Structure 1
C-alpha cells in the first residue's frame, strides 16, 4: 500500500514539471515585446542618422546590441530552462539546430545567465561613460558597484561549479 502511495506521489511530482511550461511560453511573449522595443530603437536610430553625432551613433548601436543581448539571454533561459526542467525539445534533425542544444545543463545555464547579465551591465556602463555629463557622480558610482558585484558573482559561481565538478570527479575515482 505505501509503495503505491509513493508511486502516485512520485508520478505527481514528476508531472508537476509541466507547470513550468506556461512560464516559458510567457518568456516567448517577453521576447516579442523585446523585439518590438528593438524595432522602435532601430527605427529611431535610422531616422536620426542625418543629424546624429559620432557619440550618438555609438550610443544608438550600443542600445541595439544591449537589446540583442537581452534577447539572447531570453532564448537561453527559454530553451535551456524548458529542456532542463520540463521536457527535451525534439528537433535533432533540423539543420538550424543551435550548436549548444541539449548541452546546457543547469550549471552551464547559471554561468551563461551571469555572463549575459555582466555583458548587459557593461554595455549600460559604457553608454553612461559615453554620455557621462548626463549622469550624476553618485549614480555612476552605484552603477560601477553593481557591475562589479555582477562580475564578482559570476566569478564565484564559476569557482563553485569548478569545485563541485572536481568533487564529483574525485568521488568517481
Structure 2
C-alpha cells in the first residue's frame, strides 16, 4: 500500500444493491472462526506452560535426550502459535476487514504487504517448520528403536514422516513458483 493510501481518511460506505451487499457482508461469518482460533491459541499457551513446568520439575532427573525432546515440544508449540497468529491476523486483514494499525509501534512488519498469495507462502513455510520439528523429534526418538515387529512399524513411520515432509517442501516450492509466475504475467500485461 502506498503512503498516500495510508494517510487518507476511510472512505464513506458505498450503497450496494441487496444481493452484492449480502454477499459482501457474508465475510463477517468468518469472525467466529478467527475468535475460535484465538481460543485455540490460549489452549496452546496452557499446553506450553504445562510442558515448561514439567521440564522445570524434572530438570535434574531427565537425560539430555529427554530434555531435548521436551524443548523440541516447546518449540513446536511456539511455531504452531506463530502459525495461528499468521492465520488470525493475516486472514482477518485479507478476508474480513482492515485492522487499521498504521503507525502502531507493534504492527508486524509482514502485515504491510499481506495478501492471499503472501499468506499462502508464509503458511506453507510455517507448516514446513512445524513438520521439521516433528521430523527431528522422530529422528531423535528413532535412536531408541529396538528390534522386532514394533521396530519395523516405527521405521515405516519415520519414512512416512520424511516423505510427508518432502511433499510439504515441494508444495511450498510449487506455491512460490506459481506465485512468481502469476506476478510476472501481471507485470507483463500492465
Structure 1 unaligned regions, length at least 5: 1-5
Q: Does 1:164 align with 2:174?
A: no
Structure 1 residue 111, shift from structure 2 partner = 0.6
Unaligned runs of 5+ in 2: 1-15, 146-150
Cα RMSD over matched residues? 1.3
Output the TM-score relative to the length of structure 1: 0.92
The count of corresponding residues between Structure 1 and Structure 2 is: 167
> How far 1:60 sits from its partner (Å)?
1.5
* Correspondence for 1:48: 58
Distance 1:93 1:122 in 2: 35
Structure 1, 128-137 or 30-39: larger mean CA deviation: 128-137
Contact 1:121–1:147 (Cα < 8 Å) also in 2: yes
- TM (norm. structure 2) is 0.84
Query: What secondary structure sits across from 1:50 in the alignment?
Result: coil
| Residue 131 (str. 1) matches residue 149 (str. 2) | no
Offset, 1:58: 1.5
Q: What residue is the counterpart of 2:167 in the other structure?
A: 149
4+ residue runs of structure 1 moved beyond 6 angstroms?
none
Measure the CA separation in 2 of the matches of 1:160 and 1:93: 33
Alignment match, 2:78: 68
- After superposition, residues 5-154 of structure 1 pair within 5 angstroms as 7-132=17-142, 133-134=144-145, 136-154=154-172
